[in-house]
């Protein structure tokens, strides 16, 4: 038995490795390779996975580790940093997506409970996949990247509450009783864990951190302990593991714990998605092609459009709305967990998981390309979104003359540069499409234009070409390209400074006529070398280091 299980796991991991190489070469998330591995390893194809109970147990561990690591990133003390926009859009996007997919599921022949679970499951987007893709693209710190992460955090909280309710459903009580019991149990569990995380956990973690092995063992033990206690209390493994992670998220060692648990999570999570893939019977899958295509289209196209509308209603530029929405065009790991819980308690048809896997394959693969090329897609869609773009207007009375200094983007680097540019004593204006930045600049009495710096018509209306100095801190190649092409067409003779992510983009900007290009990591290194060369104090300390006997 053990020997056969060893060979089964080995064969499946080898197959997963081969398919993962292929997925990586095609720039696809590896999760697709794992699911396809399960499809091939299932009884209907290669028949490699025969010890299904053992694989199911390993997949449960993967779910626990996944939610544990998600919890580690949910620091409740930082919830206020999400912002009202992310909170409103996150909740509204889940509600509207569920409201649209529920009647669609009913019309496709699914029963009431299965339709409810499908609508809830398809409302969430994948935190793991989005963070990975945005990090690879270098857009985590952009406006739309921060909004996306905020919306995902809200969705994670909503998913946690949903799992809390589902855990109580197993008791068989009425909806009112379930909600009352869930709220009571949840309040008690949260209060106990909150008190523990404030008064006990920090001391234990601080002691365990003296040994990295002990810290890892404690983290895993705490995960299984809390998950076990809450499972016995009727909450389920999922919510227990999530709350265990949340209770450790406020410690100063949570990143160290996360970095060490991540490898275990990745391995067991591979098993989870492989087991998920084994449930894909080709004969059953063939009968779900139409529902899978319809739901995939709703998610892939509906979520970006819905997010764009919601963010535009809250004052954001349609470009920000589209880029943010493009990151949400797939289903989440929570989708499979929610449906699996529904199947386990007998409320959901088993084919719902097969349908979710098919939808996941399509939307995850599609969103990988959509996020990579979201700026280019926006350019193609822009003629259709002209109606949603704001008119060129400043949040103050117009000045008789155009600005001599223009700052494009007032986030972080721009905010640092603003006081220095103001000291030049020249007429200046700021261009930004973040409503929060617009309001803040307005209170500072800074002339500000609300619009997209990548729109040449907007740049012309704002008379950017009349400025003697233009500084762009937006590290978006599409915006930089549009700005420089507009200035070149206007025969601009002033100074234009732009920002790029890497040297390749910087070379492209120079070719388009940039006077100077800021590449943040390079600029930081050059500035440091300059300080080393110019400050005599550094040379003095260097001599003291070589000869401590000097006065």
Query: In whole angstroms, what is the distance from residue 516 CA to residue 374 CA?
Result: 27
| Whether residue 341 is found in the same domain as residue 463 | no
Query: In whole angstroms, what is the distance from residue 505 CA to residue 500 CA?
Result: 6
* Spans of the chain, pLDDT less than 70: 1-3, 29, 43-45, 73-83, 140-141, 164, 167-179, 182, 234-236, 279-286, 390-400, 412, 520-551
Q: Which of 384, 419, 448 is the last residue of a domain?
A: 384
| Whether residue 349 is found in the same domain as residue 489 | no
| Whether residue 331 is found in the same domain as residue 192 | yes
What does the chain come to in residues? 551
The answer to whether residue 400 sits within a structural domain is no
pLDDT of residue 130: 82
| Whether residue 302 is found in the same domain as residue 416 | no
Structural domain total, the chain: 2
pLDDT of residue 528: 47
* Mean pLDDT over the full length of the chain: 78
Neighbours of 238 (CB within 10 A): 27
Contact 338, 120 (CB under 8 A): yes
Contact 322, 378 (CB under 8 A): yes
The answer to whether residue 399 sits within a structural domain is no
pLDDT of residue 516: 86
| Whether residue 302 is found in the same domain as residue 448 | no
Query: In whole angstroms, what is the distance from residue 465 CA to residue 487 CA?
Result: 6
Domain containing residue 454: CATH number = 3.40.50.720
Domain containing residue 220: CATH number = 1.20.1530.20
| Whether residue 379 is found in the same domain as residue 409 | no
The answer to whether residue 181 sits within a structural domain is yes
| Whether residue 380 is found in the same domain as residue 425 | no
pLDDT of residue 382: 80
pLDDT of residue 398: 46
pLDDT of residue 75: 55
Is the overall model pTM greater than 0.85, yes or no? no
pLDDT of residue 520: 65
Residue-range definition of the domain harbouring residue 506: 405-534
User: pLDDT tens for residues 516-532?
Assistant: 888 865 555 445 445 44
User: pLDDT tens for residues 193-205?
Assistant: 888 888 888 888 8
pLDDT of residue 399: 44
pLDDT of residue 550: 45
Task: Report residue 429 as tokens.
Answer: 């204006």
DSSP 298: I
The answer to whether residue 310 sits within a structural domain is yes
| Whether residue 171 is found in the same domain as residue 279 | yes
Backbone angles phi, psi at 406, to 5 degrees: -120, 125
The answer to whether residue 546 sits within a structural domain is no
- Cβ neighbours of residue 283 closer than 8 Å, sequence gap 6 or more: 44
| Whether residue 361 is found in the same domain as residue 435 | no
| Whether residue 416 is found in the same domain as residue 338 | no
Characterise 243 by phi-psi region: left (phi > 0), alpha (psi -120 to 50), beta (else): alpha
pLDDT of residue 396: 42
The answer to whether residue 514 sits within a structural domain is yes
Q: Residue 225: name the closest of 207, 203, 256, 201 by CA.
A: 201
| Whether residue 86 is found in the same domain as residue 181 | yes
pLDDT of residue 296: 92
The answer to whether residue 549 sits within a structural domain is no
Tell me the sheet residues that pair with 519.
500
Backbone angles phi, psi at 472, to 5 degrees: -110, 125
Q: Which of 322, 353, 384 is the last residue of a domain?
A: 384
The answer to whether residue 394 sits within a structural domain is no
* Alpha-carbon dihedral sign for residues 514, 473, 88, 338: positive
| Whether residue 365 is found in the same domain as residue 430 | no
pLDDT of residue 532: 47
């Amino acid at each position: 038995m053990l020997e056969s299980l060893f060979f089964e796991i080995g064969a499946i991991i080898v197959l997963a490795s081969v398919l993962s190489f292929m997925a990586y070469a095609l720039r696809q998330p590896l999760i697709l390779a794992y699911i396809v591995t399960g499809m091939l390893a299932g009884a209907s194809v290669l028949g490699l996975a025969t010890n299904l109970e053992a694989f199911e147990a390993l997949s449960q561990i993967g779910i626990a580790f996944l939610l544990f690591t998600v919890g580690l990133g949910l620091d409740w003390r930082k919830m206020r940093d999400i912002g009202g926009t992310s909170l409103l859009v996150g909740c509204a996007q889940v509600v509207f997506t569920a409201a649209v997919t529920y009647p669609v599921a009913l019309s496709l022949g699914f029963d009431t409970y299965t339709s409810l679970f499908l609508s809830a499951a398809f409302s969430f987007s994948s935190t793991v996949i989005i963070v990975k893709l945005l990090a690879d693209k270098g857009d985590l710190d952009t406006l739309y990247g921060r909004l996306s992460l905020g919306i995902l955090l809200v969705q994670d909280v909503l998913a946690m509450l949903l799992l809390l309710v589902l855990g109580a459903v197993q008791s068989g009580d009425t909806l009112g009783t379930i909600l009352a019991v869930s709220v009571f149990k949840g309040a008690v569990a949260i209060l106990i864990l909150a008190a523990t995380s404030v008064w006990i956990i920090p001391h234990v973690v601080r002691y365990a951190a003296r040994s990295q092995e002990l810290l890892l063992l404690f983290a895993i033990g705490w995960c299984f302990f809390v998950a076990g206690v809450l499972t016995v209390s009727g909450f389920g493994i999922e919510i227990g593991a999530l709350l265990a992670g949340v209770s450790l998220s406020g410690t100063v060692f949570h990143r160290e714990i996360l970095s060490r648990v991540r490898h275990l999570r990745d391995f067991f999570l591979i098993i989870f998605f492989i087991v998920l893939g084994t449930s894909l019977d080709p004969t059953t899958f063939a009968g779900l092609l139409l529902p899978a295509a319809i739901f995939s289209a709703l998610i892939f196209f509906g979520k970006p459009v819905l997010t764009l509308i919601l963010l535009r209603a809250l004052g954001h530029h349609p470009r920000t709305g589209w880029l943010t929405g493009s990151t949400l065009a797939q289903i989440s790991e929570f989708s499979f967990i929610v449906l699996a819980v529904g199947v386990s308690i007998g409320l959901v048809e088993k084919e719902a998981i097969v349908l979710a896997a098919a939808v996941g394959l399509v939307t995850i693969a599609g969103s990988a390309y959509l996020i990579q090329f979201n700026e280019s897609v926006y350019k193609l869609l822009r003629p259709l979104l002209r109606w949603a773009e704001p008119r060129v207007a400043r949040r103050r009375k117009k000045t008789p003359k155009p600005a001599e200094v223009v700052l494009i983007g007032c986030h972080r680097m721009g905010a640092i540069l603003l006081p220095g540019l103001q000291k030049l004593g020249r007429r200046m204006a700021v261009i930004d499409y973040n409503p929060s930045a617009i309001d803040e600049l307005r209170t500072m009495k800074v002339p500000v234009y609300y619009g997209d710096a990548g729109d040449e018509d907007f740049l012309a209306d704002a008379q950017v070409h009349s400025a003697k100095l233009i500084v762009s801190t937006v590290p978006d190649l599409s915006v930089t390209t549009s700005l420089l092409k507009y200035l070149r067409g206007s025969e601009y003779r002033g100074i234009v400074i732009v920002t790029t992510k890497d040297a390749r983009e910087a070379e492209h900007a120079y070719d388009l006529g940039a006077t100077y290009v800021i590449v943040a990591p390079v600029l930081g290194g050059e500035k440091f070398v300059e300080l080393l060369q110019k400050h005599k104090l550094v040379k003095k300390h260097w001599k003291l280091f070589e000869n401590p006997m000097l006065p």
